[in-house]
Amino acid sequence: MGCLIDVFPIHTQNLRGQRERQRGMETIAMAEKSFVYEQPDSVIMRAMPLITLFAVSLLGFSEIIGKHLQYSKFWNVNSNSQSMSKKQQKQIKLSSKTGMLMFYAPAFLAGAASFFLFPDGGLRFLLLKLALTIHFFKRVFEVLFVHKYSGGVVLDSAILVSVAYFMSTASMIYVQHLTEGYPEPLIDLKYLGVVIFIVGISGNFYHHYLLSKLREKGDKGYKLPKGGLFHLVICPHYLFEILAFLGIFLISQTLLSFSCALGSALYLAARSYVTRKWYLSKFENFPREVKALVPYVF
């Protein structure tokens, strides 16, 4: 009898723990249904959010430890190193314009092709295709008509970025196609997403325009940027790009688009951090109160 009394509280505690875990899982499932579509049946598409987040986070970590993707001001970061390997010395270098066209053109073409490959679908699918296509069209337009260049792009980095943008764009569109017929998320965020996306691409374009005005024709030097939010953060164009990807997630409301938005935010946060360090090392008069990405915070 004493043994039964001793066991009963333990059994009761186990049941209580199981109920609490079950309630926790139900809460998570309800939160997921509120904000994102159910994952599609495709095993590969189910794995893509984790793969994407891991890969982009790894790129962000590499930036922080000094292994940069070699474009913009970091394009020749290893060129003066005596310990540079023969492989690095033989790297193929492209002009910035060519390299950046490689970055964005395939993703733009994927977005444009989606209107022919998936002509049907509801309003949300149409908005996602429009947002992705407009985003990368804007980037191609900036490469051709806005940016002024001083460095180059290493081919390996150009291929890596190009594949990443193309795969994420194509995958987001395909996953959205797979969700057709699935129950909509309980909270519809697509209209909010459109507003945030427009703010994001507009702010990104404006600050890219300000950066382009820093250089006269033929000028290849770097200057302290000014105007817009540059008095608060050194990379406001990254901040608005993050907003654009956040808008794309809210339009899409899939787990993959969330993963792409979060991964982009982590990578651009890391890139802005090392960019601020670069400006601090190059300009003695760089104002230290200017943050990297988020005004007054980071």
Please indicate, yes or no, if residue 233 is contained in any of the structural domains: yes
What is the average per-residue pLDDT within 235-263? 98
Please indicate, yes or no, if residue 71 is contained in any of the structural domains: yes
* pLDDT tens per residue across span 104-138: 999 999 999 999 999 989 999 999 999 999 999 99
What is the average per-residue pLDDT within 261-267? 96
Q: Does the pLDDT at position 291 exceed 70?
A: yes
Average pLDDT, the chain: 88
Please indicate, yes or no, if residue 118 is contained in any of the structural domains: yes
What is the token pair recorded at 192? 């909010």
Please indicate, yes or no, if residue 295 is contained in any of the structural domains: no
Quick count: other Cβ atoms within 10 Å of Cβ 249?
26
Distance (Å, rounded) from C-alpha 138 to C-alpha 237? Answer: 13
- Domains in the chain: how many in total? 1
Please indicate, yes or no, if residue 15 is contained in any of the structural domains: no
pLDDT score at 217: 72
Please indicate, yes or no, if residue 267 is contained in any of the structural domains: yes
Strand, coil or helix: 63: helix
Please indicate, yes or no, if residue 289 is contained in any of the structural domains: no
Please indicate, yes or no, if residue 272 is contained in any of the structural domains: yes
Q: Which residue has the tokens 């790297």?
A: 91
Q: Which of 86, 244, 236, 90 is nearest to 156 (CA)?
A: 90
Which backbone phi and psi does 195 adopt, to 5 degrees?
-65, -50
Q: Does the pLDDT at position 5 exceed 90?
A: no
- Banded pLDDT at 70 (limits 50, 70, 90): confident
What is the token pair recorded at 160? 């890596």
For residue 291, the 8-state DSSP code is B
Residue 207: which domain range? 42-75+90-282
Distance (Å, rounded) from C-alpha 99 to C-alpha 227? Answer: 27
